[in-house]
Amino acid sequence: MMIVVFDEDREWYIQGSVFEYIVESVPAGMLQDDDLVMHLRPARAMGQLNLQGMEPDRAERIVAALSEGVVGHMRTIDQSNKELVEFYRGLLKVAARRVGND
């Protein structure tokens, strides 16, 4: 299980393998080496990526990268599986949502 905490109202609860697919689908250059070393790799070990305490620029970069990873991974799934497509769309919605702007 992986928990990605965007803020106090936005979280992903996803399987670790789903998180891996998303990270693997992030376009090259969107994540910096220190994003991986300082945040994503430790998050894998702990089962949680908490973006709330990060510098805002880094957190925004990671959110953008994860969102693009979701988009990239969606290209590889069976689009006729409506439940799975909706699951990934839901991830994008949670990642993009701003508090008070539903």
Angstrom CA distances, 79 to 8, 74, 83, stand at: 32, 8, 9
pLDDT at 40: 87
Q: Are the CB atoms for 11 and 94 separated by under 8 Å?
A: yes
pLDDT at 55: 92
pLDDT tens, residue by residue, 24-65: 999 999 988 888 888 988 898 999 999 998 999 999 999 999
pLDDT at 73: 96
pLDDT grade, residue 71 (50/70/90)?
Answer: very high
